[in-house]
Structure formats: C-alpha cells, structure tokens
C-alpha cells in the first residue's frame, strides 16, 4: 500500500474555531471496493461468550489496574508505604470480598496482581472465578508525549503485545484494557485523534487474536472549562475515528467492550450539569456513533464522586438501550473502601462491606433503580485531579 500522510498540521483542531478537516485523515486516497472480512481467529465464539458474561444484567467491572506507582499514591493517602506486601494486602481485601460477584462481572488487574496470590497461597484469579468474575488485564504501557502535537500524548505498548496477551491468557485473563486519552484544552489535534484511534484498533485486533476481549477506552479528559456541547462535539469525532479503524482492522464488534467517559462539561466549567442532562448528551453520542452489535458500554468515572458516577449511570438506564450500559469504575468504587480500611487488619471486614455497598449501588444504577437516599458524605466528595495520570 502506498504511504499516506496527514494533510493537516498538528495544530489543526477537532471542532472549536478550526473544525477538523476530514482530509486530514490518514486514510488512503483510493480504496479498493470490497467487503472487509471480519474475523477474530479461533477465539470468536469464546470472545462473544466472554462479553455476554461481563455485560450481564445488574453487573459491571471493578477496575483495580492502577500501576504500582499510582497504587502507591493511594496507599500513601492512608499512611502506608508502597511495598508489594501492602499492595497485595489491599488487593486481597478487594478480591476476596464474598458476594462481590452478585454485582461485579469483571475485574481489571495490573500485571503484578494477575500473578499474585493471597497470603494463604490462593491465586487471585481463582478467587475471582469462584465469584463468577472474569479476570482482565491492563495491557498498555502508559502515555508518553506525542511529537508534533499540541502538548498531547499517545499510548505505547503495541510492541510485544501479542506475546504478552498470549501469556496473560494462559494465566487466566479473558479480557484486556488499553487506555488512551484525548485532551480538549489541547485542541485536540487531528494528529492526536488519529493516533488514539489507530492505536486502539491495532490493540483490539491483537487482543482478539489471542483470546482476550478488548476493552476500547479513548478517554475524553474532564480537564477544561468547556461546555457539555463541546465535549459532545469532540467525542463524536473521536468515536467516528475509533470505529472506522476498528473496522479497518477487522475487529469483531460483538467481541469488544467500550469504556468511554461520560459526556459532561469540563471540570472547571461554571455550570454543573444534572444527571439527566449528562444522560441525554451521553446517550446522544452513543446512538450516533456506537453500533448496536457492541454488547456493552462500561463507563469510567473519570474523577466524579462516587455518588455522581452512580447517579449519572442510573439516569442513562431509565429507558431501553441497544447495549448493556454499565460501569467500569476504579476510584468511584474504591474511595470509601480505602478510607475505611486504613491499612488495619481489623478494618478489613468493614472495608469489604463498604465495597459491597458501592458495588450494589452501581448494580441498581445499571438496572435504573438506584436512589441516592442515605448516601454518606464521603460518597459525595469529588475526586477530579487536573492532569490525572495512572
């Protein structure tokens, strides 16, 4: 195939004052007229079954895939050192919570956790399987600066991904996660959007080829003072690119899950949107961009408070949707848990109960039956961090 170039400079923004020039796409100028072959190798049936298991009524994903450095920040907030033993103790608390499988269908792990066991020698993967929770694994290698962009980033990790996925599958993982981000205050540039979409598509194809359901996560960061309409505009452009390249890479849509951010105003915008408004704009995005073949939309919380994330999810499930609209929360499931635990063995039971409370609340939200009555003050505290990385 002939080489192709971006016909717009990196300073070309998506939306805003300088609308995206569709000619800036890195798509070839001339295409063969043919029907693409959609395939995922010998794992297609298993991939579809895995997505159905994860996207099951009243259940969602617990994301505990923070890097060791980020997990260390969480531990430091309660006065604990960032040691493997302390990380193991915290993740053991989460993954051995009895009854968690009633509300959680999948757990995204960091590589260290996938290979760890409890202090009694039981593999964490086995703990999850006993609760009928599908083990997952973060496979990207993090964000790095994107040369030629407006101070934006790209996600690395494609090198060696196939062999890593094969090893993770052997260890018991059945789905994967790859997170990249798009920043509205930085433009976003056409270059950054193309890079995000292409990277996600290549990862998804590689993961499916090795038996792992790919969670596709292009996060539109909350940073900025823009209105909700601007978020929708950018998200529509990003998702258009993502699904174009997923199709170009022959990714089986029935064998993927999406992890988008909700469509909200920028965190610094002067007007706060209601759950009903966020649901309206988010569902508008999904209906315009996401094929109904995709089984599940597992939203990230993106720095919202525990209660906000649950209220917004509940508002989106007040009507019928062609997809399973659910959650894949990290901080919005763990914040109260961590503060309840405080690193003390005598607090483990209380912390596990706190996890079940939050998991059940989001389970009810997935079913459209959640009420915020009786929520704690801790659950109402926002967790947005400007320029958040993990």
Residues carrying an active site annotation: 217, 259
Find residue 134's DSSP bridge partners.
Answer: 106
| Distance (Å, whole) CA 172 – CA 39 | 23
Distances (CA, A) of 233 to 71, 129, 275: 33, 40, 19
> In this structure, are residues 362 and 329 in contact, taking their beta carbons and an 8 Å threshold?
yes
Query: Which is nearest to 160 in space by CA: 206, 108, 201?
Result: 206
| DSSP, residue by residue, 320-370 | --SSEEEEEESHHHHHHHHHHHTT-GGGHHHHHHHHHHHHHHHHHHHTT--
Take residue 376 and report the two structure tokens written for it.
């704690």
Q: 285 in helix, strand or coil?
A: helix
Per-residue burial over 63-90, b if 16 or more Cβ lie within 10 Å, else e, is bbbbbeebbbebbeeeebeeeeebbbbb
Query: Which is nearest to 238 in space by CA: 294, 193, 297, 296?
Result: 193
| Distance (Å, whole) CA 88 – CA 70 | 14
- Residues sharing a CB contact under 8 Å with residue 342, sequence separation 6 or more, in sequence order: 78, 79
Find residue 215's DSSP bridge partners.
Answer: 177, 257
Q: Is 319 exposed, middle or buried (0-12, 13-18, 19+ CB in 10 A)?
A: exposed
DSSP for residue 102: G
> In this structure, are residues 314 and 262 in contact, taking their beta carbons and an 8 Å threshold?
no
Q: 69 in helix, strand or coil?
A: helix
Query: Which is nearest to 274 in space by CA: 285, 284, 283, 265?
Result: 265
Element (H, E) at 52: helix 44-54
């Amino acid at each position: 195939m002939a080489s192709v170039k971006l016909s717009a400079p990196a300073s070309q923004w998506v939306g805003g004052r300088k609308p995206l020039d569709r000619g800036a796409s890195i798509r070839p100028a001339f295409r063969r007229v043919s029907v693409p072959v959609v395939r995922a190798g010998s794992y297609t049936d298993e991939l579809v079954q895995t997505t159905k298991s994860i996207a099951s009524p009243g259940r969602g994903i617990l994301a505990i895939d923070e890097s060791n450095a980020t997990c260390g920040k969480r531990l430091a907030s309660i006065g604990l050192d960032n040691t493997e033993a302390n990380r193991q103790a915290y993740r053991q608390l989460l993954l051995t919570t009895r009854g968690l499988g009633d509300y959680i269908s999948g757990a995204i792990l960091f590589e260290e956790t996938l290979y760890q066991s409890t202090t009694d020698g039981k593999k964490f993967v086995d703990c999850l399987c006993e609760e009928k929770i599908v083990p997952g694994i973060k496979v990207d290698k993090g964000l790095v600066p994107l040369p030629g962009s407006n101070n934006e980033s790209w996600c690395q990790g494609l090198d060696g991904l196939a062999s890593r996925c094969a090893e993770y599958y052997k260890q018991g993982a059945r789905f994967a996660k790859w997170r990249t981000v798009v920043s509205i205050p930085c433009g976003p540039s056409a270059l950054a959007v193309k890079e995000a979409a292409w990277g996600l598509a290549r990862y998804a194809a590689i993961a499916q080829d090795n038996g792992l359901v790919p969670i596709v996560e292009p996060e539109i960061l909350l940073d900025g003072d823009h209105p909700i309409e601007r978020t929708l505009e950018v998200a529509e452009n990003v998702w258009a690119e993502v699904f174009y390249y997923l199709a170009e890479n022959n990714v089986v849509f029935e064998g993927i899950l999406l992890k988008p951010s909700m469509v909200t105003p920028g965190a610094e915008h002067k007007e706060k949107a209601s759950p009903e408004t966020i649901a309206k704009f988010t569902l508008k995005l999904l209906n315009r961009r996401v094929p109904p073949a995709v089984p599940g939309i597992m939203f990230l919380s993106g720095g919202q408070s525990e209660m906000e994330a649950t209220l917004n999810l509940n508002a989106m499930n007040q009507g019928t949707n062609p997809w399973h609209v659910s959650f894949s929360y990290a901080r919005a499931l763990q914040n109260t848990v961590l503060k309840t635990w405080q690193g003390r063995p005598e607090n483990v039971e209380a912390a596990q109960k706190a996890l079940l409370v939050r998991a059940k609340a989001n389970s009810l939200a997935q079913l459209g039956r959640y009420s915020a009555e009786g929520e704690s003050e801790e659950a109402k505290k926002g967790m947005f961090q400007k320029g958040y990385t993990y």
